[in-house]
Structure 1
Amino acid sequence: MRIPFRLLRTCLPTALCGLLALAGPRLAAAQTTNSGTDKFAQLETLLPTPNTYRTASGAPGPAYWQQRADYDIHVTLDDAKQAITGRETVTYTNQSPDTLPYLWVQLDQNVLAKNSITAATEVSQLQDRMTFAALETLLPEFDGGFKVERVTGRDGKALHTVTNYTMMRIDLPTPLRPGQAFAFNVQWHYNVNGTRPRRNGYEYFPEDKNYLYEIAQWYPRMAVYSDNQGWQHKQFLGSGEFALPFGDYRVSITAPADHVVGATGVLQNAAQVLSATQLKRLAAAKTATKPVLIITPDEAVQNEGSRATATKTWTYVAKNVRDFAWVSSRKFIWDAMQIKQDGQPVLCMSYYPREGNPLWGKYSTEVVAHTIRSYSRRTIPYQYLVAISVHGPIGGMEYPMLCFNGGRPEKDGTYSARTKYGMIGVIIHEVGHNFFPMMVNSDERQWSWMDEGLNSFLQYLAEQEWERNFPSRIGEPASIVEYMRTDKSLQTPIMTNSESVLQFGPNAYAKPATALNILRETVMGRELFDHAFKTYAQRWAYKHPAPADFFRTIEDASAVDLDWFWRGWFYTTDRCDISLESVKAYQPATGNPVVEKARQQRALAAAAPSVSTQRNAQDIAKTLVEEKPELKDFYNAFDPLAVTPADQQRYQAYLAALSPEQQKRLGGPQYFYELALRNVGGLVMPVILQLTYADNTKEVQTIPAEIWRKNNAQVTKIIVTQQPVVSFVLDPFQQTTDTDVSNNAFPRQPAASRFELFEQRLPAAPNPMQPSAQTPGSPRPTQEPRPVGGSR
């Protein structure tokens, strides 16, 4: 005979007594899917159909192909006019199955032309007080943009071209068939932007009247033609960066003879451009364990005072890269240190003016080496022979093997913690871009998050490996909560084209980086995530992945269904806000009259008498039964909570009908808690629950997000414990970006906060390294948070 397992609701433990009565109405037991979009619906209808080029697993298919563009470039820097003159031969190989009647070339410098579509479409507003830089955006006087002089075929005959803002179409004499290559020549010049640097430009140093050039987007570059979208010729408006094919580069850069020129690739003519002493230092750097100065600060100062009229040509070669950038200045200090990465030598180097010291000489090259090691462990081994960090006017921008970074000390050589950690963070970020998108070559023009977000996630991991408790600005879930709280009208989904994103930093950098950290720490676990992420990098190294390839690969390599995660985090602006609406406490009835009647006695003793009962005790001197005892009968002396022989007999009969396992269930203490959970923010996430027991011990339970799969809005969950629970708290370690913690605890806990009293504002905190900020016995200043590092 099967006896139903009865649950008796109680007010145990004591800490929950009285509060349970205030709980909201019990949620319906039936949990059906909400009306509207099911947050666990599969993404098949949103993702492109798999084919022989890109498979359902997320891997490149057997017929995958991509185009190739090889460059031979000669460029001259005019330091007097801050101008560039160049000529190039581009060999374009059609490895697609399509016949191409024309080619598209990117003219990115045209974003700075007076008639650029960027200037025409930028929104602007007049202010009572405006900086000169802000005024210049309204009255652009800079004569920017490419001046293309000639476009010819290999035979020297002019080719017909059409320029559409930042894109130039080259009409081919005959269509380019599959497997064929076409070579063409371009001659051009342009003025280098200085007062409005946008990813490239120059800095002028009035003290010594020198320039420092960081040159990028400086040559006509081939657009991508791919299997999944054809020509990627969306106009460059300023936010969406670049989509470029791989190829080999040979670049000869002519600059004043007293300039030092650094670039993507390996220097081919070091003996012609370096002194014998510099050559020896460069050789010594290849076996050094710390950076070796190739050009010393004293030599850089000496160069600053030089004004050579002669020129030198520096020749660099880079194999299998998607782009090429370079730098040039008299002011450069140059240091280098070689490391081995999976047996491959990598020469880590830094170029910086003396204004960057002491920070740059102490940290830059060490950070470059650290980044290469950290990223290689988590993705693919770094394949190139050099990795360079350059300090100049650009706060952060990335190119193959070479990046531009900010972070300048005060003129007295001191610096704040914000400057130090900001510099280290931005170097990690920009060097890290060698992996995404330089080697794993995603389309930045379309999806900024595929390089900025993935790279920011790896930046966070590398920062924490650099220094324990590094003040990372991006990565921890708590860091994105403020953005997730903002009104939805001010947000766009991560899966938004780069040029249409409303808040670029949070959307392209912080939110996807946080999402990946949550996947790694909370949803998948480190082992599954790390393997899947590395698989993605290995599959798509030196190829052109799309978002679907990333989503599918992470699931394919982990056996974790993440469609709900991609849908919520990448396709919506939902936020995480899970509310613990109520808790109801239960214990199983033992059936033992001794136990159960004692429990009822304790409950009656603990219950407060009603107001009427209390007042009647005072107002009614005697009841009628008290005045006439003859009205009493059996029940006036009967104690319903006293254990009788009949109670014992019924209990024994009850036990006899139970199996040994059922009897065991009744023997030990068990506490049942029914938790009512509500998804206020709309983003389905795992439920992370911290239980605090009566003895003050704690336990954390993680319930997978699939708890919401049959009802995306509200669920109930039974938690069974062996000892009484005094409190429940959701997301105790801020793992899920919960935007409202006031509804995370039961019993409710007031949120701690502070307010400031003042008559006038305190002055800004001084740079703690400066003598004026140091007083004997003063505590060591805490580290300041650093600004968001990263490219624009």
Structure 2
Amino acid sequence: MRRFLFAGLLLALGTSQFAAAQTTNSGTDKFAQLETLLPTANTYRTASGAPGKDYWQQRADYDIKVTLDDDKQAISGRETITYTNLSPDVLPYLWMQLDQNILDKNSMTTATQVGQLQEKVSFQTLEGLLSDFDGGFKIESVTGKDGQPLKTVINHTMMRVDLPTPLRPGQAVSFDVKWRYNINDQLKINERSGYEYFPEDKNYLYEIAQFYPRMAVYSDNQGWQHKQFLGTGEFTLPFGDYRVSITVPADHVVGATGTLLNAAQVLTPTQQKRFAEAKTARKPVLIVSQEEAVRNEGSRATGTKTWSFAAKNVRDFAWCSSRKFIWDAMGISQSGKPVMCMSYYPKEGNPLWGKYSTQVVAHTIKTYSKFTIPYQYPVAISVHGPVGGMEYPMICFNGGRPEKDGTYSAERKYAMISVIIHEVGHNFFPMIINSDERQWTWMDEGLNSFCQFLTEQEWERNYPSRRGEPRGIVPYMLMDKSLQNPIMTNSESILQLGSNAYGKPATALNILRETVMGRELFDYAFKTYATRWAYRHPTPADFFRTMEDASAVDLDWFWRGWFYSTDHCDLALESVKFYSVSTSNPVVENQRRQQQQAGTPPSISAQRNATDIKQTLVEANPELKDFYNTYNPLAVTEADQQRYTAYLGTLKPEQRQRLGDPQHFYELSLRNVGGLVMPVILQLTYADNSQELRTLPAEIWRRNNEQVTKIIVTKQPVISFVLDPFQQTADTDQSNNAFPRQPTASRFELFQQQAAGNNAPQAPNPMQQAPAPGRSPQPPANGGPK
């Protein structure tokens, strides 16, 4: 315990602040502004993060006719593209994406893949190494509207189309492309689309995307985005209107982006009636039941049907087709507009899919619309197949299959719900808020994973979200920095894609919302970003600037730390010193000193000398004593009282009141061990066991990024201080967060070592272990296996 005059306290405070101001940071100032890193604002993109008065973007409209060959698992098609140049530039050529070329035997992806052989190699890996799959687009012709061939140059996954006449600002050009390609088996070549074969009933389920040559983006900030598709960086596409005709076997059911135009020609009267009922139903209605799908599995139609769809103002188009599909639908109203939420799935997906899929689709549309912008499209579709999860406008492909007996683990259930939320959520990022996926994976995956977290928590209380909570990113943040990249890393160069592009940005946004900005400021700014850039092409700078512009919160330090570095959060509370104000009353203060001395044990030397030294020299020779051998420095003299009285006479009444004021002063020494500056969240526990939470903004580190001291004043004595008690900041070391120090609790579990390998017994899921009658799952409302 330390006591001093109040004037001394004021002096100490002033000196402490001056010393901090004079301290220089080692390395880069973590509060330096981002102007040198962000692109210069202009009339296309403003310094506020909003589109400028001269903002423009290109347009590409498509008329596509495509045929599925169910015998050869192949696609053939023809498209007419109308490309409108809304830029101020003259374009002598156009660039198109040929994404199927990633599966060409001689693709750049295959040539640049690296790996090592292990003692055990999966059959799937071996199939990939030995594959002779004839993949990639076979471009049969590219012709102008006059029927004359256009000169083209194919560079791996990109194709340049040379125009006969340069395309001037405001002009449009139409041309035709004819192509074909072989569809990959997704269980052998795990790409974003393809087919799944079911040997039990000899049927195929097709999830078809990247199936047509697509226009690349030409933008104000980078010109043509024609970076090669290597597999990780996904797709950057312009908006346009689509009209697509899909010819499939007559007994197939087709789902697709957009609105079905010819329902009367492809659906039975019963199916049309059910579809109409579904528009106002409060629960999903079966358009094609499981019983009907099972009967359909055994059919083999000799003819074909053509399903026609139209979609307005979308950036892409995808579809699915199979005779195995169960199809259910439920209409919702979103901001006064009807949205049909639908699911397509084989019987192998039940009971999970019939029970949950469409309900999850509807919940996702409602929740994302609340946090971003109202959903504008007429449909939202979830399709079940072997793909873990992939997204397209109005339609997505999702995994999550129960066991053959219809049971499933909790992990499988929540993984399926999560992947549907995530992929349906991609309608907002990047299908509507159309960021450059080829360059910045985090702008769609990270923002979407954050909204996924919000949506999961509104689906079920205490939902076991995989990403979003700060504590979940700690293992990644602790990883060796040689295995990490900053979030601001190109998609193809990221080392830990899931953590870097999904988990870390989702966590960062959650921390912004809960700890740095607060929900009100964050939610308004986030909605502002979504509104500003809906149906446009935002960049990272547009996001960073908008979040600050709409909130009046300087976040440059946050973007620098979380997005531009691999620093981690580890704040340490190194020491705490306690002070109180001296009364200056010699009677009171001397009595306190006596109590302090009485409570201080003698040193070990003094204890041993008391017995080992039989007699000191002074004890043996009393004549050696003088005044100081009997002097008591803690005795209060008349002179002490006179000085005290005189001192009180020099003070103002309010100053005299401060003497002995029952305030407690604590000097906390804080260190930034991990390098990432973050707010300091302090939990104070008082002597009566009550608690208080205090949050100190991250700017506390602005003059010294590494070490600061902070004075905390309380009316009650504090018995403990704890940093980040609710794990809000992804602090990687909890052991240095408390003072006095608290041991970190953990446990270890004993187990019997068992044989490993493919033949080792697998634990049944709890649903299989449940005693009858609960062992068998209840049949779903939509007709699952009985």
User: 1:766 — aligned with what?
Assistant: 764
Distance 1:158 1:628 in 2: 123
Kept after mapping to 2: 8 A contact 1:108/1:236: yes
Kept after mapping to 2: 8 A contact 1:533/1:554: yes
User: 1:178 — aligned with what?
Assistant: 169
**Aligned residue pair count:** 759
Kept after mapping to 1: 8 A contact 2:105/2:135: yes
User: 1:15 — aligned with what?
Assistant: none
Residue identity in the other structure for 1:514: T
Gaps of at least 5 residues in structure 1 are 10-25, 779-792
Tell me: CA distance 1:31–1:464, structure 2 relative to 1, closer, same or farther (3 Å): farther
Gaps of at least 5 residues in structure 2 are 12-16, 756-760, 776-786
User: 1:96 — aligned with what?
Assistant: 87
User: 2:58 — aligned with what?
Assistant: 67
User: 1:115 — aligned with what?
Assistant: 106
The secondary structure found in structure 2 opposite 1:436 is: coil
CA offsets 1:92-125 (integer angstroms, 9 cap, x no match): 0000000000000000000001010000000021
The CA deviation at 1:754 is 2.0
Distance 1:347 1:776 in 2: 36
Kept after mapping to 2: 8 A contact 1:6/1:589: no
The secondary structure found in structure 2 opposite 1:328 is: strand
Q: Percent identity among equivalent residues?
A: 77
User: 1:786 — aligned with what?
Assistant: none
Residue identity in the other structure for 1:33: T
CA offsets 1:338-389 (integer angstroms, 9 cap, x no match): 0001101000000000111111011000000000000001110000000000
The CA deviation at 1:431 is 0.4
The CA deviation at 1:128 is 1.7
Tell me: CA distance 1:582–1:611, structure 2 relative to 1, closer, same or farther (3 Å): same
Distance 1:483 1:318 in 2: 41
Q: How is 1:255-404 mapped onto 2 (pairs within 5 angstroms)?
A: 255-404=248-397
User: 1:217 — aligned with what?
Assistant: 210
Distance 1:765 1:719 in 2: 53
The CA deviation at 1:91 is 0.2
Matching residue within 392, 415, 425 for 1:422? 415
The CA deviation at 1:653 is 2.0
Tell me: CA distance 1:286–1:759, structure 2 relative to 1, closer, same or farther (3 Å): closer
Tell me: CA distance 1:700–1:74, structure 2 relative to 1, closer, same or farther (3 Å): same
CA offsets 1:445-499 (integer angstroms, 9 cap, x no match): 0000000000000000000000000000000000000000000000001000000
The CA deviation at 1:39 is 0.7
After superposing the two structures, state which structure 1 stretch, 615-624 or 181-190, moved more. Answer: 615-624
CA offsets 1:176-198 (integer angstroms, 9 cap, x no match): 00000000000000001112131
| TM-score, with length taken from structure 1 | 0.93
Tell me: CA distance 1:7–1:555, structure 2 relative to 1, closer, same or farther (3 Å): closer
The CA deviation at 1:634 is 5.0
Kept after mapping to 1: 8 A contact 2:6/2:581: no
Q: How is 1:511-526 mapped onto 2 (pairs within 5 angstroms)?
A: 511-526=504-519
User: 1:6 — aligned with what?
Assistant: 8
Superposed CA RMSD in Å reads 2.0
Report whether the alignment pairs 1:712 with 2:710.
no
Matching residue within 172, 180, 187 for 2:178? 187
CA offsets 1:569-621 (integer angstroms, 9 cap, x no match): 10111111112122222222221223211211111011011122212322344
Distance 1:106 1:48 in 2: 27
Report whether the alignment pairs 1:446 with 2:439.
yes
The CA deviation at 1:625 is 5.1
The CA deviation at 1:234 is 0.2
The CA deviation at 1:239 is 0.1
The secondary structure found in structure 2 opposite 1:287 is: coil
Matching residue within 610, 613, 638 for 2:603? 610
Distance 2:24 2:59 in 1: 49
Distance 1:500 1:459 in 2: 25
After superposing the two structures, state which structure 1 stretch, 724-733 or 342-351, moved more. Answer: 724-733
The CA deviation at 1:272 is 0.6
Q: How is 1:607-756 mapped onto 2 (pairs within 5 angstroms)?
A: 607-623=600-616, 626=619, 635-756=628-749
Kept after mapping to 1: 8 A contact 2:400/2:413: yes
Kept after mapping to 1: 8 A contact 2:675/2:706: yes
User: 1:52 — aligned with what?
Assistant: 43
Report whether the alignment pairs 1:142 with 2:140.
no
Matching residue within 413, 423, 426 for 2:406? 413
Matching residue within 81, 88, 97 for 1:106? 97
Tell me: CA distance 1:30–1:345, structure 2 relative to 1, closer, same or farther (3 Å): closer
Q: How is 1:532-551 mapped onto 2 (pairs within 5 angstroms)?
A: 532-551=525-544
Distance 1:241 1:30 in 2: 47
Tell me: CA distance 1:480–1:27, structure 2 relative to 1, closer, same or farther (3 Å): farther
Kept after mapping to 2: 8 A contact 1:8/1:587: no
The CA deviation at 1:6 is 2.9
User: 2:226 — aligned with what?
Assistant: 233
The CA deviation at 1:632 is 5.4
Residue identity in the other structure for 1:495: M
The secondary structure found in structure 2 opposite 1:44 is: coil
After superposing the two structures, state which structure 1 stretch, 717-726 or 173-182, moved more. Answer: 717-726
User: 1:129 — aligned with what?
Assistant: 120
Residue identity in the other structure for 1:346: V
Residue identity in the other structure for 1:767: N
Tell me: CA distance 1:611–1:128, structure 2 relative to 1, closer, same or farther (3 Å): closer
The CA deviation at 1:8 is 12
The CA deviation at 1:730 is 1.2
Tell me: CA distance 1:108–1:581, structure 2 relative to 1, closer, same or farther (3 Å): same
Kept after mapping to 2: 8 A contact 1:27/1:676: no
User: 2:155 — aligned with what?
Assistant: 164
User: 1:17 — aligned with what?
Assistant: none
CA offsets 1:294-337 (integer angstroms, 9 cap, x no match): 00001000110000011000000000000000000000000000
Distance 2:397 2:745 in 1: 42
Kept after mapping to 2: 8 A contact 1:386/1:401: yes
Tell me: CA distance 1:382–1:704, structure 2 relative to 1, closer, same or farther (3 Å): same
Report whether the alignment pairs 1:199 with 2:201.
no
Residue identity in the other structure for 2:234: E
The CA deviation at 1:145 is 0.4
Distance 2:241 2:404 in 1: 41
Distance 2:448 2:34 in 1: 24
User: 1:245 — aligned with what?
Assistant: 238
Kept after mapping to 1: 8 A contact 2:581/2:660: no
Residue identity in the other structure for 1:295: V
| TM-score, with length taken from structure 2 | 0.94
The CA deviation at 1:664 is 2.5
The CA deviation at 1:163 is 0.3
Distance 1:125 1:438 in 2: 37
